[in-house]
Amino acid sequence: MKRKLSILLSGILFIAAVLTGCSNSEQGRGGNDKTSEAQKTDVKQMVRLNIPSEPTSLDPGLAADSVSLNLTLNLFEGLTRISDGKPENALAQDIKVSEDMKTYTFTLREAEWSNGEPVTAHDFEFAWKRVLDPKTASIYAYIMYYLKNAEKFNHGEGTADDVGVKALDNKTLEVTLENPTPYFKELVSIGAYYPVNKKLVSSTPSWAANADTFVSNGPFKLDVWEHKSKLTFRKNDNYWDKSAVHLEKIDFSMVEDVNTELSMYENDDIDWAGRPFSYFSNDAISALKDSGQLQTEPASGTYYYTFNTERPPFTNAKIRKAFTYAIDRQVIIDNITQAGEAPALGLVARTMSPKPDGYFLDHDEDTAKTLLKEGMQELGITELPPIALIYDTSSAHSKIAEAIQSQWKKVLNVEVKLENKEYKVYLDHLQQGNFQIAKSSWYADFSDPINFLQSYKTKSDSLNFARWENERYKELLNSSVSETDASKRQEELKQAETILMDEMPVLPIYHFLAVYIKKDKLKDVKLEAPAYVDFKRAKVEQ
């Protein structure tokens, strides 16, 4: 995100992209006979879940939406792993940090890939440089810009040899950073920093598309992938910490309709429903709350709209702010989302915001009208051009859009056309800048405000769909990267978000909660605050 592409995110962040299936693979790893036989012996330690559609990718260097990121979290292991919000050593047995905090030396433990080959420091170096290679076109390349010369290489201004990651031998990885990064141990737990099997990926470009060629190094391995139908994970017996893994099998069905998913849960066909793999209809949330089944956890994410600052009339900051002040967020929360979310008066999630109370007033109709009038005068126009809001297919997105459309009409007397796009089309419109206002969302990849703010540092950032930048904002973010005093750094980030909210290239709406239901028999599942669910230590108690 994790930056999970906001789009990438909850939507980007919660709804996986629908891909064209690569092949229909029932044989998995060892065929149906093996799967049927295994079902007879491991049914007690089996979990069943649903994802709404095909994951965008199970390649950790390419995974971008929340579903794919959660799947790869359980298939792979990085140098560290997040547990109870803090990084703990994973494949890194030892971590040494230089006095200037710019050089990290990771000593790897003995570990194997699911095919029995050793995991080496060379696999890490290869994987990281692969993510940064412009030819890979990884949307998560930015998360590695902390490495020395990484951004230059990703922008075609340097070579892979210049990047600050080097395998000194099979078990020693040396990493050099551009600046001291206090949260680097947390960063290396993120999917983009996972290793991949260098030998396999170099020889088989489509390795991640089917179960029979897939190799991972985490608690689970991919056993079956029937495209657009189901996924099956099996316990990875080659995993270095396999004694901590209790589940023998995780089954994922792929049913798009959220009401059908809820029926599957009620019929005891699945053991978990809702976030982060799927979501509930608004009506279902209300009923589940009333029944006492609904569970919620703080989530480091924000649902918002993005203005294209290069498309009229949103080239004008006052008009952007007018549309923002016109919204009554509490009405949306009370009548549509209904889970008790907090109104978003800033972009950064409240769980990590430098100013949790926000930067502007919610629903100030007089200010909205005044700003719209002043903005139109600055543009020299007496009426607004046609305006459209795009969003990807979801009843929740539609209901929110319809409510906001009504509020804009009531407060500003503005007609806004709603355009519901199929997910891949919606993503293409975002990436091409072919929109005026677009639904967005973002879940933090790591617990620091900069994860929300850094996308808007330059127009060239692959996730800066607003096409907005500000020199002072850029200076503050750059300064915060090297600031070692925590309070001074927090103040710099607050000043940066103040600028962002003053110019309003994005329109915050509400902060997410993780909303889900699960069977009582499923224990010790780790639901980490940003947007991840970890089944490494999960177990079923009958």
Neighbours of 99 (CB within 10 A): 6
pLDDT reported for residue 27: 33
Q: Which fold has domain 24-52+54-254?
A: Dipeptide-binding Protein; domain 1 (3.90.76)
Query: Is 10's pLDDT higher than 80?
Result: no
Query: Could you give the CA distance from residue 109 to residue 87 in angstroms, rounded to a whole number?
Result: 16
Residue 524 pLDDT level (bands cut at 50, 70, 90): very high
At which residue do the structure tokens 């109104």 appear? Answer: 343
Residue 273 pLDDT level (bands cut at 50, 70, 90): very high
pLDDT reported for residue 21: 32
pLDDT reported for residue 346: 97
Using alpha carbons, select from 4, 63, 151 the residue that is nearest to residue 463: 4
**Is residue 223 classed as helix, strand or coil in its secondary structure?**
strand
Does 31 or 320 have the greater pLDDT score? 320
Q: Where are the alpha helices (DSSP H) in 206-354?
A: 258-266, 282-291, 317-325, 329-332
**CATH homologous superfamily for 298-514?**
Dipeptide-binding Protein; Domain 3 (3.10.105.10)
Provide the percentage of residues in the chain whose pLDDT is more than 70.
Answer: 92
Q: What is the mean pLDDT of the chain?
A: 89
Q: Where are the alpha helices (DSSP H) in 380-511?
A: 395-412, 423-432, 450-453, 471-482, 486-503
Query: Could you give the CA distance from residue 232 to residue 249 in angstroms, rounded to a whole number?
Result: 7
Neighbours of 181 (CB within 10 A): 19
Query: Is 247's pLDDT higher than 60?
Result: yes
Query: Could you give the CA distance from residue 239 to residue 76 in angstroms, rounded to a whole number?
Result: 10
338 touches 289 (CB < 8 A): yes
On the question of a common fold for 24-52+54-254 and 298-514, the answer reads: no
Neighbours of 291 (CB within 10 A): 9
**Is residue 426 classed as helix, strand or coil in its secondary structure?**
helix
Query: Is 8's pLDDT higher than 90?
Result: no
Domain layout of the chain by residue ranges: 24-52+54-254, 298-514
Using alpha carbons, select from 384, 401, 372 the residue that is nearest to residue 311: 384
